[in-house]
Copies of this chain bind each other. A is one copy, B any other.
Amino acid sequence: MSRGSGERLLSILDLFSEERLAWSPAEMMDRLGYSRPTLYRYLKLLKDTGFLTSLPGGRFGLGPRVVELDFLVRASDPIVARSQPLLDALADRFPGTAFVVQWYGDKLLCVASASRDATARTSYPRGRPMPLAAGAAAKVILAHLPKRRQDAILGARADADAIRAVLKDVRRDGVSTAFWEVTPGIVGTAAPILDTGGHPLASICVSMGTERYEALDTTALKDAVRRAARAISEKAIEADGKEIEDA
């Protein structure tokens, strides 16, 4: 009644999740409440434009247009391009996974990653959303946001004050270390990627199992991560960054 038709169209894409990657028209009608002709009209449009594709069994899945557009996003993203060599170097020097998490105003997404062994590769692939207030990669970004934005994100959390105390230290140190916050048994070490104005654009993080972490020279790790972050920040400065305010 009150939602526009474009919104209803895009809602179809919202159905797809890691848990549910294929939908039949009947299931969509059931879930979304659209009439049969309307749903099929939307499906036709999304299929013709490549956002959806037909799967065996009369079901639908996400289509090639998505793949094509992500290629363009990668091409347009200076942080991704500049991060990759540094991620490769970090992954070469330290165990675990090195990855970059980008701040999109209301969302954190891993946008690039590298790791020595292929098995770890899947743990943080490009496109996987991250929690906003847990883990080293998130906290180091949070720590560099203006207070009012921090508060909006921490919101009604019971542990908001505890987190705020940590963030203060993180901001001073330029590095955040987090134990077991996102994945049990994993330690993350992250540093912020900032624009000229000191606003956070992204963060770079190295994560690994606790036992490996404890066998390391953690000061060297912190330094390496901090240095990588600064290198990306400096390169990114040319591209400027005002993405933060409006989003």
Contact = CB atoms under 8 A, between A and B. Distances in A.
B128 A69 contact: no
A53 interface: yes
Interface in A61-107: 61-64, 66-76, 84-85, 88, 102, 104-105, 107
Contact of A54 (B5, B59, B240, B246): B246
A49 interface: yes
A111 interface: yes
A127 B72 contact: yes
B6 A105 contact: no
Contacts of A7: 45, 49
Contact of A63 (B41, B45, B57, B104): B104
Give this chain's copy count. Answer: 2
Interface residues of A, number: 62
Contacts of A129: 68
Contacts of A125: 71, 74
Contact of A49 (B10, B62, B118, B241): B10
A21 B56 contact: no
A67 B103 CA distance: 13
Contacts of A76: 16, 21-22, 61-62
